[in-house]
Structure 1
Amino acid sequence: MRTTVGTPDDPGAGRRGRNRRNGEGSIRQRKDGRWEARVWLFTTDGGEIRKSVYGATWEEAHELMTKLKADNMGGVRLPVANQSIEEYLRYWLVEIAQHRVRPSTMASYRWLAESYVIPYLGSKKLAKLRPSDVRTFLNRLKSVCQCCALKKDARRVEQGRAARCCAKKPRECCDSQLSDGSVRYAHRLIRAALQDAVVEELVASNAAKNLRISHRYRPKFTPWTSDEAKRFLKAAREDRWYALYSVALAIGLRRGEALALRWADLDLVDGVLRIERTLQRIDGQLTVGPVKTDGSDRKIALPPALVDVFRQHRARQAGERQAAGDRWKEHGLIFTTGIGTPVEPRNMNRHFDRLCERAGVPRIRFHDLRHSCATLLYDQGVPIENIQDVLGHSSPTVTKTIYIEATRKIQRGAVDRLGFLFDE
């Protein structure tokens, strides 16, 4: 192919001048007065296409053409996929994400994709998605009433229950907005899916990768003090799940990790507990799966007092097994219902709330027992690196980022050591 390029003073100079090499492109002035620069570029499927860019002046068109050629030389390829976001997301969930993430994460991905991403972005072409499209979508998630968007109140009416807000006539919006955590999760989903589209050379760049979204990174929480923790355990002493709350506070287990524990995971002689499974409700079914991350699969040495709590719990469970008789269904679990079956995680939340009220301590989430554990460990002089090992985080940075209250105490302890500067 032989291409020519004119100049701003003489557009036909290229035709009368030297021949130009392949890929150098050409610039010409159109009948409408604009300048058109054309250049051959490589595509993501290995082919070549000729792309045109337009400028009001010769210089502007030349600058745009030069940038295209520089990007092409740097490895940037033009996307040729004609898929919509909906088509690609459905493919990605089944062929890529499903083989890479935990079942619980997969269920969250499907829910986010079907409820939010596809309704808002699904009709857009994958190759034409821009960072501004993703930013607009995420900002919209923060402001739209999710009860209205998902027709939650309409489903209540279909089930024979009274309308509360959007299904009323006249309509009353409850302004139920999506949490910052869910918006952040939606951003993570889009970013992961688009990164795989880049790897598979369906698009040239990830439109969600470098976005800076103004949502909070982590929700705030207030852990219990040591006095509050002791008061709670004292109130729960005679409760059948006293051992569950003890292990959540003493070694910071997640709720699903605690409920999935088996007696086979516990060594009462050496005082060691192995955490390698988690119990969660996924797609309406109680499911036992792997722990959250590779770092979450861990062994933890137990304090002697906690070993005694487990011994007492085993004796209590033996009594329940005998009382249940033929109704008992053995699963080998440490924490069970009265007939040996797995405990519904949401039931734990309600039971925990009642115990907080009985103990007269601040009402927190069950998961905040894990946060409280981190703070209490630091109060006892445990280094942040060791707290990381107990909680099963991938690095101390994660521990510091999430457990803000403990980090503040670390900062306070560090700066207090400079008090000698003011010693009179």
Structure 2
Amino acid sequence: MVRAPLPLGTHGNITYYQHENGNWQARARYRDADGITRTVKRNGATKNAAMLKLKAHLAERQHVTTAANLTPASTVKELAGIWWEEFQAKDRATSTQHRYRYDLDRLILPSIGNLKIRECTVGTLSAFLKTVSNKNGAQSARVAKNILKGMFDLATAYDAAPRNPVKDVTLAPVKKKETVALEYMDVLKLRQSLTGEVREALEIMLGTGCRVGEVLALQWADLDLSDSNRARVSINSTLTRDTHGRYYRQEHTKNKRTRSAFLPPFVAEMLIRRRDTEIPAHATTTAWATPEMFVFPSSTGTAQDPNNFRRKWREQVKGTDFEKVTPHNIRSTVATFLERNTDLTTASLQLGHSDTAVTARHYVKRETEAPDSTAVLELFGREVSS
């Protein structure tokens, strides 16, 4: 009877041979990823040492061919482990890697990690992503879908799936939100209604058009306050989450563009006052504002979680006319104010966009009332002599 070949990436029984010098050799047949079965040997001073060396080598050899061992019966968790190793080798932004790892561990593996690849049908994955969207939001569902698409692309490449089911999963379209921008007098009222660091952060957002993550990532080294009338800020970083969900300073902005901006005197004066007279929770002296220290630190002096800042914001606007206003709305407010009082190019440069189309499409509030063109349109009412 012809002996059945070993499955790919596995070995047969381990046998032993003792050399004349007393050393031992452990050997086993191993079927490599190319389908060829080879005899693998390792030597040791004792039988046990030779066995341990052989097993360690076989484990390394199997690791190299693990992807080739994916089958329809492999689990999503096994697929994720192989996909993650390949994904890490790609030139992807650190923040993207952290977000993907975080959502893989938080959303995907706890829910469908034990499913077999063959069980992941279009219907199964559609139901899973719908649940993610309902519980965690549409953006989380889109990220989860991107992760799953990459995983099942790998599964199809190694013949563990006949096709990628994720490609046929359709997420509910996300309705484009209407741009919210405050009118000038409302901005003044909102500023006067806020207190403490929430108001101070708002003033930086109003004076720069920064995102809240960029404001909370600011360190004193990013500011030149030597002349309050010509103060400047370098916007070169933002806060992002690591694989454990904790926020840290990422040494580039969302679009990887560093920009410099002048600060209005009222913002510069506030920062000088904060630096010289205010003492945050973690500090014991007004000499706390060293170059590497965050302008708005947490209670322990580390990066402040943006979610904690938004919570403080909500507490201060609760019960006011600005209860539905978010920090992100301030960015749109700055863009709209600059577009109306200067031009779209200035607004785009202030916000650090790659082109004016992004600013116009997502950040400038559209006018709902047409300009008074009655003098021109009245011309259509003229009578013509026959």
Q: CA deviation at 1:390?
A: 2.4
Identical positions, percent: 21
Contact 1:295 1:392 in 2 (8 A): no
CA distance in 2, matches of 1:320, 1:114: 35
- Quick check: 193-202 or 243-252, which moved more? 193-202
Choose 219-228 or 253-262, whichever is displaced more: 219-228
Is the CA contact 1:231–1:359 (under 8 Å) kept in the aligned structure 2? Answer: no
- Please list the CA deviations of residues 66-98 of structure 1 after superposition, one character each: whole Å capped at 9, or x if unmatched: xxxxxxxxxxxxx99637544333223233247
Give the length in aligned residue pairs.
307
Partner of 1:32: none
Residue 376 in structure 1 maps to residue 367 in structure 2: no
User: In the alignment, does 2:284 pair up with 1:324?
Assistant: yes
Pick aligned residue for 1:402 from 362, 376, 382: 362
TM-score of the superposed pair, with normalisation by structure 2: 0.62
Q: Is the 8 A contact 1:191 1:209 kept in 2?
A: yes
**Structure 1 residues 357 and 136, CA gap change in structure 2 (3 angstroms):** same
Question: 1:123 and 1:220, CA in 2 relative to 1: closer, same or farther beyond 3 A?
Answer: farther
Residue matched to 1:82 = 71
Specify the code of the residue in structure 2 equivalent to 1:248.
M
Please name the residue that 2:46 is paired with. none
Is the CA contact 2:222–2:235 (under 8 Å) kept in the aligned structure 1?
yes
Structure 2 unaligned runs (5+)?
Answer: 1-32, 36-67, 380-386
Could you tell me whether the CA contact under 8 Å between 1:265 and 1:275 is conserved in 2?
Answer: yes
Structure 2 Cα separation of the partners of residues 265 and 342 of structure 1: 15
Matched, 1:422 2:377: yes
Q: 2:86 aligns with which of 82, 92, 95?
A: 95
User: 2:218 maps to what in 1?
Assistant: 261
Of 208, 215, 223 in structure 2, the residue corresponding to residue 251 of structure 1 is 208
TM-score w.r.t. the length of structure 1 is: 0.57
Match of 2:318 among 333, 342, 357: 357
Residue of 122, 126, 130 corresponding to 1:138: 126
Q: Does 1:233 align with 2:168?
A: no
For residues 158-169 of structure 1, the aligned pairs below 5 Å read none
Inter-CA distance 135–349: structure 2 relative to 1 (3 Å threshold): same
1:307 is the counterpart of 2:271? no
What secondary structure is seen at the aligned counterpart in 2 of 1:273? strand
> 1:246: Cα distance to partner?
0.8
Deviations 1:288-344 (A, max 9, x none): 223453444322233333333322332234x66998149969542222357754434
**Structure 2 vs 1, CA of residues 102 and 120 (structure 1 numbering), >3 Å: closer, same or farther?**
same
Asked if residue 112 in structure 1 is aligned to residue 73 in structure 2, the reply is: no
**Please, what is the CA RMSD of the aligned residues?**
4.3
The answer to whether structure 1 residue 186 and structure 2 residue 174 are counterparts is no
Deviations 1:95-144 (A, max 9, x none): 32475444443343234323444444764548x97xxx4575235432x4
- Residues 249 and 303 of structure 2 are in contact (CA less than 8 Å); yes or no, is this contact kept in structure 1? no
Is 1:275 aligned to 2:263, yes or no?
no
Q: 1:335 — aligned with what?
A: 296
Gaps of 5+ in 1: 1-44, 48-78, 147-175
Query: Which residue is equivalent to 2:327?
Result: 366
In the superposition, relative to structure 1, how do residues 205 and 357 fare at CA in structure 2: closer, same or farther (>3 Å)? Answer: same
Alpha-carbon distance in structure 2 between the residues aligned to 1:398 and 1:300:
19
Report SS of the residue matched to 1:216.
coil
